[in-house]
Structure 1
Amino acid sequence: MSYSEFGFTEYLRSILAIATFFLIFLLFTPVILILLLISFGKASNFVVEKIAPVMVRPVMWVSGISFSVKMHADEIHSPAVFIINHSSTLDVLTLLALGLPKIRFVAKWEFQYNPIFLILGRLTGQIFIKREKSEKAIETLKKTHHRIKSDQLSVMMAPEGSRKHPGVIGPFKKGPFRMAMDLEYPIVPIYFEGNRELSKGGTLITKSGQVTAHIHEAIDVSDWTVDNLNEHIKEVRNRYLEWAGVQNDEVRPIS
């Protein structure tokens, strides 16, 4: 998606949205820091569940984006390993807008280059991994298992690893599925409809429109094994292909 695809109004709206994004983060950061310090970090869940959605909703409103959640399950299973389709910078906003209970995000290491994200991410217990080093990433995830399990936290991950991937739904890495098996958590698929169509670039330059987060039924992994893992990953990815209206393209899982 090139900038030439945007009209002047949408381009201007996106610039205002980016300014709103950074302004809100600058204003809320001291409040969040104080809240975390006086609570000795125990307010992390409140920050992610209640404050984060309040912070990003105005940004989407300025962008002309209408965001909604559609439940395809009776309730949101928690704790769980939540997974999403990742193809747009808008995913950052829609993830935070969900306000899922006791959630921690697995994010790329480079997010920490922004001092605000570094401070808030570390203080709220988010997980940063080096995606290009698969074994190192898995090792980092394993080190967090005890904290996640003991605190009954949920985890949010993107099986595609990066928004830059071939096709509408890229190859799935094994990390999220291995983590679900190790934690003995179910997997809850979330499909973002509209993010990719509104913004395919690496910035928040976006078209106005509708984005819907489809939260699906939890997937039990209690009978998954190392031997049948690839087949199960393929089945989950096929669901995403179906939701995206794409035929099965037989892409193998990535270690």
Structure 2
Amino acid sequence: MFVHFLVSGVLGMLIGLCRPFNPDNSRLCARIYSVPALRILGLKLEMDAQGLMQHQRSCVIVANHQSNYDLFVLGSLVPERTVTIGKKSLKWVPLFGQIYWLAGNVLINRANAEQAKQAMLTTTDTLQHKDTSIWVFAEGTRNLGKGLLPFKKGAFQMAINAGVPIIPLCTSNYKNHMHLNRWRSGTVKVRSLAPIPTAGLSLDDMPALIERCRLQMQECIQSMDREIAAADDENLKARGGVRGQH
């Protein structure tokens, strides 16, 4: 993984330097990191995200955030012309930070309210006029596989201001179920939900919009977790094992 991370970093830097701030750089760099990493880590990814990948216009993608492994788990699902929002301090992380910046992602200084507000206005303009989507981890931080945290307002405010739909993207709880010392480290399910329209909504509608999105994602994540648990039980039975003995 260390060698892969270095090689991917060099390739990502070349892409960023050859076409700086191109909104499709994030997709290419994410795939470079993700596809080999899944094989190295032995993670099996089961995707049902055609609705996201086939979406043809700007949107706000809202995903749950478990750990730094999300880069590898979700990297192959980044659609064309999609950028993310991250902390401005990421820019100074050696190699990765410079790639992140050159990929055209939006960097926000959360400690400076005026700069954060200006960045949000910029993203609204991007959504409306530049045929580019925004990917946001709505919890604002990693939940470490302990279930969805409360959602921040930023993603929903952007979607309402721009009048673009929200596409929820759900990942099963893998953080506490990976076994990275095995050839098969576990299964991760990823599923995109139907777009939630925001046209005609105002900021007064934001609390209900946040609750609707969070509830749909929570139900989807719980459903995927049950599917994985059922499949694991079936595999144990097929091998003549008992879950509690392993």
TM-score (norm 2): 0.76
Pairing 1:99-114 to 2, within 5 Å after superposition: 99-114=78-93
In structure 1, C-alpha distance between the alignment counterparts of 2:65 and 2:212, rounded to whole Å: 18
Matched, 1:70 2:48: yes
In structure 1, C-alpha distance between the alignment counterparts of 2:138 and 2:181, rounded to whole Å: 24
- For the 8 Å contact 1:53–1:96, the answer to whether it is kept is yes
- For the 8 Å contact 1:80–1:187, the answer to whether it is kept is yes
In structure 1, C-alpha distance between the alignment counterparts of 2:147 and 2:65, rounded to whole Å: 9
The 1:77–1:141 alpha-carbon spacing in structure 2 relative to 1, beyond 3 Å, is same
C-alpha distance after superposition, 1:161-219 (max 9, x if no partner): 001489501001111000001111100000011433346xxxx9998111222011111
Q: 1:188 corresponds to which residue?
A: 167
Pairing 1:1-255 to 2, within 5 Å after superposition: 17=1, 19-36=2-19, 41-42=21-22, 44-45=23-24, 47-71=25-49, 73=51, 75-131=54-110, 137-164=116-143, 167-198=146-177, 208-245=185-222
3-state secondary structure, aligned to 1:227: helix
In structure 2, C-alpha distance between the alignment counterparts of 1:166 and 1:20, rounded to whole Å: 27
* Mean Cα deviation higher: 217-226 or 237-246: 237-246
- For the 8 Å contact 1:72–1:217, the answer to whether it is kept is no
What's the offset of the Cα at 1:117?
Answer: 2.6
The 1:55–1:72 alpha-carbon spacing in structure 2 relative to 1, beyond 3 Å, is closer
3-state secondary structure, aligned to 1:235: helix
Runs of 4+ in 1 over 6 A off after TM superposition: 132-135, 204-207
- For the 8 Å contact 1:24–1:55, the answer to whether it is kept is no
RMSD, matched Cα: 3.0
> In the alignment, residue 92 of structure 1 is paired with which amino acid?
L
- For the 8 Å contact 1:72–1:216, the answer to whether it is kept is no
The 1:189–1:26 alpha-carbon spacing in structure 2 relative to 1, beyond 3 Å, is closer
Unaligned runs of 5+ in 1: 1-16, 247-255
Unaligned runs of 5+ in 2: 224-246
In structure 2, C-alpha distance between the alignment counterparts of 1:129 and 1:34, rounded to whole Å: 22
- For the 8 Å contact 2:34–2:74, the answer to whether it is kept is no
The 1:102–1:212 alpha-carbon spacing in structure 2 relative to 1, beyond 3 Å, is same
The 1:119–1:241 alpha-carbon spacing in structure 2 relative to 1, beyond 3 Å, is same
TM-score (norm 1): 0.74
The 1:132–1:64 alpha-carbon spacing in structure 2 relative to 1, beyond 3 Å, is farther
The 1:241–1:30 alpha-carbon spacing in structure 2 relative to 1, beyond 3 Å, is closer
Identity within the alignment, %: 21
- For the 8 Å contact 1:194–1:210, the answer to whether it is kept is no
Q: 1:253 corresponds to which residue?
A: none
